[in-house]
Amino acid sequence: MSWPRYALATFVATLAAVGLPGCDGRPAQAPGPVRTPKESAEQASLVIMDTRGDVIIYTDTEAQGRLAYEAALARLKTIERLLNRYDPASELSAVNRAAGGPPVIVSRTTARAVIQARHLWQTTGGAFNPLVGSLVALWTQCEAERRLPTDEQIQSALLLLNMDEVEVAEGGAADGTSSCRLARAGMQLDLGGMAKGWAAQEAVAAIRRCEGVRAALVNLGGDGACWSEPGGGPRGTEEPGASRPPWRRPWRFGLQDPRTVSRKILAPLEATRGAVVTSGNTYRYYEIDGRRYSHVLNPRTGRPVENCIASATVVHPDGGTADGLATACMVLGTGKSIELLERLPGAEGLILELSEGRLLPCPTEGFEQYLPSRKLEF
């Protein structure tokens, strides 16, 4: 082995729910500590977001690893505190409550998230719409009342979806503060469609600001962002034919079978840097009168999307973008999704269509690079 001088610090945390935007309100369950094979230097279990996740960091020393891990957790907790729209104390809730009124002073983090969400709205031609909050509230209420929304209710909610009526400034005021204002009363921001990918990306960025970091993965329930330092081995330590150290190997993600909640992996996906995010209806949906409806809503019709897409997986250098694009693909349908992804630099994707119980894979041209098997057969 060519890397004995590196103390290996791997931190694995299991994260559980309290509900970042998009949370389905299930009670939080803190799982017990998880032991990773061999290298585990420290374990933690904590409660954050509505999902189990892993944080793995390779650093030069154990102490550096611990600091980087703390930085990642702090970042995730901050994002959750600011952007969980189901928490009345969050900044996003304050912005939503003030809809139709004056601007609300927010953190730069919140302003940046809203700006990126608006950008995704533009990129996807409105298929990704962070103002779906009022529609989500309508469908959630109807699910509780076991009825479908009326046409009038849908029409009223559709009037609240214009992102041009959201004013957001990041450090834009004369005194450098950030602010956000929803111009129309009733408008509701819901960043659930990009939250996990965005949060994972922010956590990886926080890790990278720490010292001694060689590689990191933040995986939130299958949606994750990762980074590895460039190169084929620690400088000057390579021996001919020596195997690559773990932090120089690609990170592994799993392409999950959208037909089952068992988290069965159809194929491994590998990435060195960037984010891999999947959107689908496997875990979350509305159920009314025994019928399941997608939890992704079509901002044009105000109704849950109905098409043959079982899941959309997007790879992109940026986590928030990957997540937003994956949600948009569910709305756009296969043809337009592949067209959009092919057009965007750095984006690749795989749509899994479902027909009579069988999955039909529809990848972008470059998606194969993330498939170690180079095959899409299942």
Q: Is 49 in the site for ligand ADP (CB under 6 A)?
A: no
| Spatial contact of 330 and 306, defined as CB atoms under 8 Å apart | no
Identify the H or E element spanning 320: helix 319-332
User: Smallest gap, in angstroms, from Cβ of residue 372 to ligand ADP?
Assistant: 24
For residues 326 and 313, the answer to whether their CB atoms sit within 8 Å is: yes
The tokens 């129309």 sit on which residue?
Answer: 184
Residue 128 binds which of ligand ADP, Mg ion, none (CB < 5-8 A, kind-dependent): ligand ADP
| Interface residue with ligand ADP, options 66, 196, 214, 248 (CB under 6 A) | 196
Q: Which of 80, 87, 190, 348 binds ligand ADP (CB under 6 A)?
A: 190
Q: 190 to 229, contacts with Mg ion by CB under 5 A?
A: 193
Single out the residue of 346, 333, 277 nearest to residue 127, CA to CA. 333
Of these partners, Mg ion, ligand ADP, none, which one is at the site of residue 129 (CB under 5 to 8 Å by kind)? ligand ADP
Which member of 10, 17, 22, 370 binds ligand ADP (CB under 6 A)?
22
Contacts of 193 (CB under 8 A, 6+ apart): 22, 128, 130, 132, 279, 296, 323, 324, 327
Q: Which pair of tokens denotes residue 191?
A: 């960043």
Q: Does 327 bind ligand ADP (CB under 6 A)?
A: yes
Applying CB under 6 A, the span of 100-108, 129-137, 163-171, 355-363 interacting with ligand ADP comes to 129-137
User: Which of 87, 91, 323, 348 is in the footprint of ligand ADP by CB under 6 A?
Assistant: 323
Site size for ligand ADP (CB under 6 A): 21
What is the separation of C-alpha 378 from the centre of its chain, rounded to a whole number of angstroms? 25
Footprint on residues 237-256 left by ligand ADP (CB under 6 A)? none
How far apart CA 240 and CA 210 sit, in angstroms, is 31
Kindly write down the DSSP assignment for every residue of 28-57, as one continuous string: P--PPP---SS-EEEEEEEE-TTS-EEEEE
Helix (H, G, I), strand (E, B) or coil at 50: coil
Integer angstrom CA distances of residue 286 from 24, 147, 316: 10, 11, 29
Q: Which of 299, 319, 320, 363 binds ligand ADP (CB under 6 A)?
A: 299
Which residues contact ligand ADP (rule: CB under 6 A)?
22, 128-130, 132, 136, 190, 192-193, 196, 223, 279, 284, 295-297, 299, 323, 326-327, 331
Which residues contact Mg ion (rule: CB under 5 A)?
193, 279, 323, 326-327
